[in-house]
Amino acid sequence: MPIKKLLERNALFIAIFLTLFIAVVSLISFKGVHLVKVDNSDKFGHLLAYFLLSLSWLFALNSSSKKKIKTYILILILISYGIIIEVLQGVLTTYRQADVYDIMANTIGVLFAVILLKKVYRKPVVHFK
């Protein structure tokens, strides 16, 4: 139970941290870092990152009594965030490029998170009045 309470109290911090972490990792150069290349493995990384990002925001907003937001608005915000990051990769960097398949993987990650939570809780993910 202490871990659950700790996560609940820090849900917004975790969501903000993951949002910033994804932006930084998406825009920095990994020049000199030798990663094992597997075809389309980065797509799984995108899917997983946006799945976790979505879960963190869904929990953060659900635990907040002040900010209630409709799930579909959050979905649009997170998908838009993924698109913006991809555009920034193409515009601001010379070592990264925008990729429509990355956007698709990001979107699938967001949708998987929402679907999973709806299945687990069998009720709306985020409550609103």
User: What pLDDT is attached to residue 33?
Assistant: 65
Separation of alpha carbons 50 and 48, rounded Å: 6
pTM for the model stands at: 0.80
Residue 30 token pair: 């990994």
d(C-alpha 76, C-alpha 78), whole Å? 6
- pLDDT for residue 70 is more than 80: no
Look at residue 62 and tell me whether its pLDDT is greater than 80.
no
Q: Taking residues 43-57, report their average pLDDT.
A: 93
Scanning the structure block, which residue is given the tokens 């969501």? 15
Give the pLDDT band (50/70/90) at residue 112: very high
The DSSP letter of residue 39 is T
